[in-house]
Structure 1
Amino acid sequence: MGETAQSVWVNCLSFIQDNITPQAYKTWFEPIKAVKLTDNALSIQVPSKFFYEWLEEHYVKLLKVSLTRELGENAKLVYVIRMENTYGNKQPFTEKIPSSQRTQISSQDIDSPLRNKSPELKNPFIIPGIRNVKIDSQLNPNYSFDNFLEGDSNRLARNAGMAVSNKPGGTSFNPLLIFGGVGLGKTHLAHAIGVEVKDKYPEKTVLYISAEKFTQQYIESVKKNNRNDFIHFYQIIDVLIVDDIQLLSGKAGTQDVFFHIFNHLHQNGKQVILTSDKAPVDMQDIEQRLLSRFKWGLSAELQHPDFETRVSIIKNKLYRDGVEMPEDIVEYLANNIKTNIRELEGAIISLIAHSSFNKKDITIDLARKIVENYVKNTKKEVSIEYIQKVVSDYFQMDVETLQSKTRKRHIVQARQLAMFFAKKLTKASLASIGTQIGKRDHATVLHACKTVNNLSTTDKQFKKFVEDLNKKLTL
């Protein structure tokens, strides 16, 4: 018959594609690779345990039907989970899952959360705004999944957040680390998960806290000599959400105490959600033992929203505020404010305010004025796309050449400079920079940054390249 894993999987995919939305197909099926076909068992490689659980929960019937059509009634599916994104962890592990067992597999090794022995437990550590026995979750109900619009830039993070809120502590992404630049929705998503958990499981104790406030409380507990009470208080939380975890950088005592709290929660099947402005691999001055725990679950990046998502965000905001705006103005705003969602929403509010205070219609001229103010008054964050264009122009090549696989020295150097400036001038993670500059991995980007630093000190001509490009990019 001469069938290969590839050909069987291609046929399965064409069936699957006809039966689900293009977005779902792109997110959950495009990343899968077919690796092996033996008898009637097809092995497919998925990028994480989270991915496998999601497929099992949402697409198990579809997979079974498509595979049975190809390989007959005895078809089996074997998952190979290869975590390529967990920085440095190159050991794949394989799970063989016969079809007959597949339906029970998702719940196999999940600890059920331990019930608190005594719900009357006194809050030993009085936190402003938190009652003695009833712990106020400190969540903002305005931040919900309903107004967190899905797009290519946030799909993985949003879906992971939904999965966690459906089954807190019961998925393989514990902790869930959401990372990305300023104003892209990390805090919004963290609150949305908490709000959803409270809605589904009113009996669970949820607490949202910023890493900064957590540090202040810890310092206070040391002063008052009740560090243990502080730890015990946090150990009774079912879902702990810590915002801006990178702020623990360099704070050894706080990191130590967080390490103990994290371990206790994790071992007892409680859920931890963290946000950060950088990926674990880019965090400075965070202890290795803590970093390794951050990588246990899923790290999901929030990227800059694309044009379509920006249009949807504007329309959603206008709809919620009961305001109508001409399509061309919506597109003008979406085209001109690209760096973050907070700025985009700020510009819309300014536009609405100006028009209602001055009793004027919203016109393209008014939009232009507002956008000029926004773009002028905010420090412009350059995009990786723009950096590649500037570097390519400087070396008189096109972006395709810069991204190509060629090893010619001058092209390699141009590519390394693009990676160096992307690391320096954007908040993108190393993995994200690598993906955007010719589908490289984070280790290549790290190597590029080291090479540029070394060459700048030893090679005068190269130093001039760096200085020239720096001027062009930071004007």
Structure 2
Amino acid sequence: MTVSARRLLTEPTPQEGTGEADIAWRPILDDLQQSLPSQAYSTWFEPLKAFQSNGETLVVEVPSRFYFEWIEGHYAKLLDRVIEERLGNSSALQYTLASTSGADYEAEPVPASNLVKVNGDGGVAHTNGVGSANGLNPRYTFTQFIEGPPNRFARAASLAVAKSPGKTTYDPLLIYGGVGLGKTHLLQAIGNAVQQNNPSMKVRYISSEQFTKEFVEAIKTNRGDQFSARYHSVDLLLMDDVQFLVGRDRTLLEFFHIFNNLYQAGKQIVLSSDKPPKELNGLDERLVSRFGWGLVCDIGPPDFDTRVAIIETLAEHEGFILPKEITEYLALRFTKNVREMQGALIRLMAHASLTGMDISLELAKKALHDLINNQERRISVDQVQQVVAAHYQVAPDLLLAKIRTQPIARARMVAMALTLRLCHFSLKQVGANFGGRDHTTVLHARDRVNEWIEGDDVFASEISGLIRRIESEDE
């Protein structure tokens, strides 16, 4: 069944797509339908409609920014081939965002070559246009980064570096944490802030994998000296996922020399990793030592309030205002990282757009059923108690006892707060699993732990580490 994107418009727009655009777009749709699985075609291409054509440029209307990011991120090559076959290699495709503003509607075409593409891992990478020369995506800013207790220290350190690159004790700065928690966002935000405040500074953002590819290609083409010179000349080097340099001895040696050169020249280096330097087995000990010369900080999974804020921000960016019960439903069930939450929100918005239904709790449960079954944490109370007890070096059964001495009382409060957060239990259920305690005791424990997190960065880091340990045992 064909679903029209006109359902997204509250009033007809005064600028209708021309007949020439429809004629040009229809055979392209036919080819796409033949090349794609039916569900993919109906989800991503049926909602698009021809908007305008002048013979050389075809403009199609997409329901939201998310649609063109997804389409360009996943189907760009297919589109290139089909458009060339149908319209010729001199033709161009552009997008315009649908509007719900009635008479105030004004189209703003977005060239396909300047869009932000979605990578296979769910991240985004700017493909062309502003910022492409230095690897930066202008959408990643400190303003767009939602702050919460698990990431506050990393964000503060990143801001300090962005304000005074190479002039703080945070050189190098290494941020570590799990997938989709905001490491890339912070690195990019540093780069964008520095570039904006100091346009003359040479900034380079790159992933370790891309760095390796560039280095290998330079060696193959006898351009090793040019490669080295390029990186030795930067004022700010931002490298993502340094853990992937492990086992690549020649690349590691090159990076070691670049690191030393930049550090000795007083340039700023910012790195990210999935674990702290000492746990990067196989990495050159000299590099591990140098990573510790500056500041190493972790970034943990967002807490409930932060997840709510992130979901609201993502939805507003796409033009959706979510009811409170929906944001809380998503925040309770997608707890691991921002990427997971974004994927759930994308699925929900697509369902709402394609069916013309209002976003409701019933629609959310239906649209996200399989994601929840596959991704929802099934962490047991016993797991939490075992990990927390081991961390505080107390017997697990003492967490259930009536003993109130330290460190047992502190360990118990942490265990109750983490159980409430990770197991999706009610206050009463948590209390029942800790020696039959009253729900007010659990509430007090949660509030106290949150206060400690807010006031003590070391404790916040400790909690993030406990959460990672608990979740890793669940996989």
TM-score per shorter chain, which class? 0.5 to 0.7
Shift of 1:315: 1.4
Please tell me the residue identity of whatever aligns with 1:265.
Answer: L
Kindly report which structure 2 residues correspond to 1:260-299, keeping only aligned pairs within 5 A, or say none.
260-299=257-296
The whole-number CA distance in structure 1 between the counterparts of 2:128 and 2:316 is 35
- Partner-residue secondary structure (3-state), 2:462: helix
Larger deviation, residues 297-306 vs 345-354: 345-354
Q: Would you say the 8 A contact 1:304–1:338 is kept in 2?
A: yes
Q: Does 1:387 align with 2:414?
A: no
Please tell me the residue identity of whatever aligns with 1:387.
Answer: Q
Which of 332, 345, 348 matches 1:348?
Answer: 345
Q: Would you say the 8 A contact 1:392–1:399 is kept in 2?
A: no
- Partner-residue secondary structure (3-state), 2:359: coil
Q: Does 1:165 align with 2:165?
A: no
- Partner-residue secondary structure (3-state), 2:397: coil
Which of 373, 376, 382 matches 1:376?
Answer: 373
- Which residue in the other structure is 1:358 paired with? 355
- Which residue in the other structure is 1:233 paired with? 230
- Partner-residue secondary structure (3-state), 1:153: coil
User: Structure 1, residues 327-366: CA drift from partner, whole Å, max 9, x if none?
Assistant: 1111111111101111111211211211121011111112
CA pair 231-325 structure 1, distance change in 2 beyond 3 A: same
User: Structure 1, residues 139-163: CA drift from partner, whole Å, max 9, x if none?
Assistant: 0111111110111011011111111
- Which residue in the other structure is 1:245 paired with? 242
User: Structure 1, residues 67-106: CA drift from partner, whole Å, max 9, x if none?
Assistant: xxxxxxxxxxxxxxxxxxxxxxxxxxxxxxxxxxxxxxxx
Shift of 1:386: 6.6
Shift of 1:399: 3.9
- Which residue in the other structure is 2:182 paired with? 185
- Which residue in the other structure is 1:142 paired with? 139
The whole-number CA distance in structure 2 between the counterparts of 1:236 and 1:135 is 18
CA pair 370-388 structure 1, distance change in 2 beyond 3 A: same
Kindly report which structure 2 residues correspond to 1:425-464, keeping only aligned pairs within 5 A, or say none.
435-436=462-463
CA pair 474-166 structure 1, distance change in 2 beyond 3 A: closer
Aligned length: 295
Shift of 1:474: 5.0
CA pair 147-474 structure 1, distance change in 2 beyond 3 A: closer
Instruction: Structure 2: state its 5+ residue gaps.
Output: 1-126, 390-394, 416-457
Shift of 1:256: 0.9
Shift of 1:194: 0.5
- Partner-residue secondary structure (3-state), 1:202: coil
The whole-number CA distance in structure 2 between the counterparts of 1:269 and 1:174 is 9
CA pair 152-384 structure 1, distance change in 2 beyond 3 A: farther
CA pair 210-392 structure 1, distance change in 2 beyond 3 A: closer
Shift of 1:436: 4.1
Q: Does 1:219 align with 2:216?
A: yes
The whole-number CA distance in structure 1 between the counterparts of 2:256 and 2:405 is 43
- Which residue in the other structure is 1:198 paired with? 195
Shift of 1:377: 3.3
Q: Would you say the 8 A contact 1:238–1:271 is kept in 2?
A: yes
Q: Would you say the 8 A contact 1:337–1:371 is kept in 2?
A: no
The whole-number CA distance in structure 1 between the counterparts of 2:323 and 2:385 is 33
User: Structure 1, residues 10-62: CA drift from partner, whole Å, max 9, x if none?
Assistant: xxxxxxxxxxxxxxxxxxxxxxxxxxxxxxxxxxxxxxxxxxxxxxxxxxxxx
- Which residue in the other structure is 2:112 paired with? none
Shift of 1:246: 0.4
The whole-number CA distance in structure 2 between the counterparts of 1:325 and 1:250 is 46
Which of 294, 297, 317 matches 2:314?
Answer: 317
- Partner-residue secondary structure (3-state), 1:136: helix
Shift of 1:389: 3.3
- Partner-residue secondary structure (3-state), 2:270: strand
The whole-number CA distance in structure 2 between the counterparts of 1:130 and 1:340 is 27
Shift of 1:228: 2.8
The whole-number CA distance in structure 1 between the counterparts of 2:297 and 2:153 is 6
Shift of 1:213: 1.1
Shift of 1:432: 8.7
The whole-number CA distance in structure 2 between the counterparts of 1:347 and 1:183 is 14
The whole-number CA distance in structure 2 between the counterparts of 1:159 and 1:136 is 27
Q: Would you say the 8 A contact 2:240–2:273 is kept in 1?
A: yes
The whole-number CA distance in structure 1 between the counterparts of 2:306 and 2:464 is 22
User: Structure 1, residues 358-377: CA drift from partner, whole Å, max 9, x if none?
Assistant: 01111111212344322333
The whole-number CA distance in structure 2 between the counterparts of 1:432 and 1:225 is 50
CA pair 330-437 structure 1, distance change in 2 beyond 3 A: closer
The whole-number CA distance in structure 1 between the counterparts of 2:377 and 2:314 is 24
Query: Alpha carbon RMSD of aligned pairs, Å?
Result: 3.8
- Partner-residue secondary structure (3-state), 1:397: helix
- Which residue in the other structure is 1:306 paired with? 303
- Which residue in the other structure is 1:397 paired with? 397
Please tell me the residue identity of whatever aligns with 2:397.
Answer: M
Q: Would you say the 8 A contact 2:203–2:236 is kept in 1?
A: yes
Shift of 1:433: 11
Q: Would you say the 8 A contact 1:333–1:371 is kept in 2?
A: no
CA pair 255-403 structure 1, distance change in 2 beyond 3 A: farther
Q: Percent identity?
A: 39
Q: Would you say the 8 A contact 1:221–1:227 is kept in 2?
A: yes
- Which residue in the other structure is 1:209 paired with? 206
- Which residue in the other structure is 2:252 paired with? 255
- Which residue in the other structure is 2:45 paired with? none
Q: Would you say the 8 A contact 2:379–2:474 is kept in 1?
A: no
Which of 172, 177, 181 matches 1:175?
Answer: 172
